[in-house]
Amino acid sequence: MAVAALEQEILTLRKRRQLYSLIGLLLVVAVLMSGYSKSNEMNSGGFLQGLTKFFDYPGEIVVEAWEAGPAFFGLILHFVPAMLETLNIAAVATLIGGAMAVVLAMASTRNVDSWGPLIPVVRRMMDIMRAFPELIIALFLIFVLGSSPVPAMIAVAFHTAGALGKLFSEVNENIDRKPIEGLSACGASWLQRIRYAVMPQVAPNYLSYFLLRLEINVRASAILGFVGAGGIGQELRRTIGWGQGAGDETAAIFVLLFLTIMLIDQASSYLRGKLVGAGRAH
């Protein structure tokens, strides 16, 4: 009897959950339809009418790149210095942000015997650093410092410190505390415990996250060029702004950016695989 009552209750709960799911789905559809109708009214043209022209501009870029012939490869080489500038922004920002992240992670982890009252303060600091996208920080810094790669570098480093600091602190939370306790029993200082008991355990994961962040920062640095922070993004904004006649240059930048990202991705995947002992990461 009790089993029959339990089955009936489960059946009732299941029907109630299906009813709630259906109501939720209908609400989502209603919001989407309402949003589509509103945005369609605000656009200069209709969404469905514009959808047919979606591939017009990409098609023009491909045609102009094809018409450029062998000179297209010369255009790719022409934009290599701008690409190197973007890579420099990303590399310097990742190095500075990574160093700051190590300090923040050590100060925000209870597992490595950090000072208790400092831990919540540093964690909230990292929350704030991650809350603002690089683009917002860069726009503010460009307003203050002017257009140059420096605001982009500071913006990417600031966001990287908050993001990597969070990941590094999670790595610290999972280490084995026995080496720390052994060094404490021998009278080792806090810095000595970090140097000889913590860093050997966390270094491979730190470096893995660092390389992953470098990939992300290359893409972020390219985007920041659109707001006047230099690099390949600034060239891309110029070629797109010219509209007709610069499609071959736009295509050359896209190809160069794709090749660079692919090379960095493959190199960092290989290095991460070596660091974690997995042969090759995918």
Per residue of the chain (282 residues), give pLDDT as tens: 577 888 888 888 888 888 888 999 999 988 888 877 777 777 666 666 777 777 777 888 888 878 877 888 888 888 888 888 888 888 999 999 999 999 999 998 888 888 888 888 999 989 888 888 888 888 888 888 877 888 888 989 999 999 999 999 999 888 888 888 888 888 888 888 888 888 888 888 888 888 888 888 888 888 887 777 777 888 888 887 755 567 788 888 888 888 888 888 788 778 767 766 654 444
What is the model's pLDDT at position 281? 46
What is the model's pLDDT at position 280? 47
What is the model's pLDDT at position 241? 72
What is the model's pLDDT at position 167? 92
What is the model's pLDDT at position 263? 87
d(CA 204, CA 123): 23
In this structure, are residues 197 and 183 in contact, taking their beta carbons and an 8 Å threshold? Answer: yes
What is the model's pLDDT at position 95? 93
Please state the three-class secondary structure of 134-152 as a single string. Answer: HHHHHHHHHHHHCCCHHHH
218-228 per-residue burial string, b: 16 or more CB within 10 A, e: under 16: bbbbbbbbebb
What tokens were used for 60? 């023009």
d(CA 221, CA 190): 37
What is the model's pLDDT at position 44? 63
